[in-house]
Every structure is written in C-alpha cells, then in structure tokens.
Amino acid sequence: MNDTELDRLLETWEAPTPRPSLRHGLRARFPRAERLGFVRPLRWALAILVASVALVIGMAQAQSSYSQWDFGDLPVVSLLHRMFENFMEGREARRVEQVVAKIRQSDPKVYVDGQLVAPLEFGPAKSMDVEVPGEGLYSIVLYRFTRVRNAAGRPTGWVEAGRIHDSVIEFQAGGKMVRIECDRPIVGEDRPVFAMRRR
C-alpha cells in the first residue's frame, strides 16, 4: 500500500459533525456577565477617581506652589485637590517632625560667617531659633509648604533663605551666612529652609 492509498483509506474514517448542544453547552457554562453588573460602574468610578488624582498630582509637579491653584470652576477636582493637599501637608508635617527630632539628637553646632555662636534653640511648631550676632533672632522652619504670602498676597515674614542637605543647614540671615552642622546625616535629599527675623 503506497502513501496515497493509505491516505485514502484513512479518509474513510469520518468524524461526525458536532451537535448544536456543543455550542449551547458552552453558552450555558459561560460565566454570566450579570455578576459583573455591580462591579463595572465601580470600576468606572475608580478609574475616574484615579485619573483625577493623577491630574492633580501632575499639576502639583508642574507648579512650584500648588497652593496657588484655582479650581473654583471644577468642584470635583477642587475637592480632590483639597484632599490631596491635606494629605501632602499631613505627610510633610510628620516628615518635618522626624527631621527636627534628628537634629535635636545630633549635637548641632551653629556658625555665623564661620564663627561658632550660641546653640540652636528649639521652639514651638518644630521651629528652631538662632541668635545671629549683629542681625538679631531668626526662626527657621523646614516645612516645605510654609506660606510666604497670606491669602491677601502680603508677605508673611517667612522667606526661603537656604537649604538643608545631608548633615548641614545653611541659610542667609540678613547679610550673614548661618551654617548649622550636625554630627550625622539628617536628610537624604535637599530641603528648603524658611527663615523669619523675630527681632
């Protein structure tokens, strides 16, 4: 028997055609979409929420001071913005608390134009006070969202005067440079230092 003859012989064994029950059975066993009916709107709501939060975060990154935004025309976005703002501020407050606690434990030494001066004083609301000879008493804070202007647009007295990096805080107090050196690293990334002259 050659190949062609064998092939012809094999062809005599025909398969039956499937019954309609094959398709019906599959449909009957298909997991119904109804059970997703409740989940689907929730998914959409979640997607909209995520997109809105992403929008707010994107704008936060694009703006140097997101507190100046005006979302009055979009109530939902405005609400999300406020929630996001509160969240970020709360997180920043906790972070500052940790940083100040670290500074407190790191034997900080204060130098004004290279000269060792009176030690740092720790004030309320995580502020720190430095007596700058010839310039007066300066308070400093490390809170990123310190408002330099009030709602009316007037200066609050706080100005971004320097930076904290690694174990060193440096800021400008009038005409003098203040340098606070800690005995261990305090922050992993640079942060702004806001200063205000008290007297």
Partner 1 sequence: MAKAPERLIREARRGKEEALLKLFDEHHLPLFRFAWRLTGSIADAEDIVQECFLALLRPDCGFDPARTAVRTYLFGAVRNQWLKRLRRRDQGMALEPVDRRTPEAEAVRGEAAGAVAAAIAELPGTQREVLLLAHYEQLSLAEIAEVTQLEIAAVKSRLQRARATLRESLAAYAPQTERII
Residue ranges that bind partner 1, judged by CB under 8 A: 1-3, 5-7, 9-10, 12-16, 18-19, 21-23, 25-27, 29-33, 36
- Residue 30 Cβ vs partner 1, minimum distance, rounded to whole Å: 5
> How far is C-alpha 82 from the chain's CA centre?
14
d(CA 5, CA 32): 50
Ordered strands of the 136-141 beta sheet: 115-116, 109-112, 176-181, 168-173, 159-165, 191-197, 136-141, 128-132, 121-122
* End-to-end C-alpha distance for the chain, whole angstroms: 113
- Residue 51 Cβ vs partner 1, minimum distance, rounded to whole Å: 20
- Nearest CB to partner 1, comparing residues 31 and 188: 31
- Nearest CB to partner 1, comparing residues 16 and 75: 16
Q: Which residues contact 59 (CB under 8 A, 6 or more apart)?
A: 66, 69
- Nearest CB to partner 1, comparing residues 21 and 68: 21
- Nearest CB to partner 1, comparing residues 30 and 199: 30
- Residue 179 Cβ vs partner 1, minimum distance, rounded to whole Å: 58
- Residue 54 Cβ vs partner 1, minimum distance, rounded to whole Å: 23
